Amino acid sequence: MRAVLFFALVSLVGCATAPVAPARIAPGIYDVATGEQLNEEQFAGRLISAKYVIVGESHDSPEDHALQLHVFELMSSGRRVALGMEMFQRPFQEPLDLYVRAEIDEATMLERTEWKTRWGFETDLYRPLWEMAREKSLPIIALNVRRELTKRVSAVGVSALTEEERAQLVDLDLSREDYRSWLEEIFSGHGMKMDREKFDRFYEAQVLWDETMADSAVNALKQRPGDLESILIIVGRGHAEFRWGIPSRIERRDPGQAVLVIVRATEPIQLDDAKSRQMADIVIIP
């Protein structure tokens, strides 16, 4: 039951976005910092100039997946770009490599990565992404932490892990009180309550999730110097918005490199509000 509750909560956070005040803004692509509406050429230029591009998603949204595919098309036009996916966990990198090299088919790749039990969303939503990666011989990177480790941290906390378990952790920054407060706000807003000790363990597990995905993305580029120019990171929007999750943790590991966060608005927004809260770098208004 504890594991079921934990993954219900992290799924909520991974897809969550805080409410924002309504406004009427014309459909289009907007630079949040300047309020400028970008045309397709300008948008492509922003994508190409960034080393790390993060597109947040609601996991079951066809519109978000269509945006991700479009971004991947623009980024990989004549360029070597990795595709990093939250949907796959690090121990299952080999099947992804074999799939890209056309040594196994999709069905085998999904079976060997344990898609149904470790992710479970409809494959049709993600298929165009990994098919494009295979067609262009671009690496697919398993970003996510091993599920058993996040469950263990949620159950006992980082301090109670065994030496062997602690050896599997990446560097964790647990000091972001703004992130912690945001998570508590989400839970209280959905009528969910937990005592301080349980919440602390949940927060540690959430940070482990973010830090591992950031670590995987940075390592993917550093381990292939001269081969890859950038990486597109596909994750739940709660891991991307406000830079608390993955973006700030990439910046800590690879200082000075551009990290571009893109989200699609799911409700009316005010760009000034999005800017003040650092919601994203680029917002798509449907």
User: What DSSP assignment string belongs to 58-92?
Assistant: -TT-HHHHHHHHHHHHHHTTTS-EEEEEEEEEGGG
What pLDDT sits at residue 4?
A: 40
* Residues of the chain under the 70 pLDDT cut: 1-24, 189-192
pLDDT for 273 equals: 82
CA distances from 212 to 87, 189, 205, 208 (A): 13, 27, 10, 6
CATH number for position 162: 3.40.50.11550
Residue 26: what residue type?
A
Q: Which two tokens stand for residue 154?
A: 């949620």
pLDDT on residue 18: 41
Q: Which tokens hold the place of 228? A: 């890859």
pLDDT of residue 5: 41
Range(s) of the domain holding residue 218 = 2-285
Distance CA 261, CA 280 (A): 5
Q: What pLDDT shows up at residue 213?
A: 98
Number of domains in the chain: 1
What pLDDT does 9 receive?
A: 45
Q: What is the pLDDT of residue 184?
A: 86
Q: How many CA atoms within 13 Å lie on the side-chain side of 268?
A: 6
Instruction: Check residue 14 and give its pLDDT.
Output: 58
What is the C-alpha to C-alpha distance for residues 147 and 127, in angstroms, rounded to an integer?
Answer: 22
* pLDDT for res 277: 77
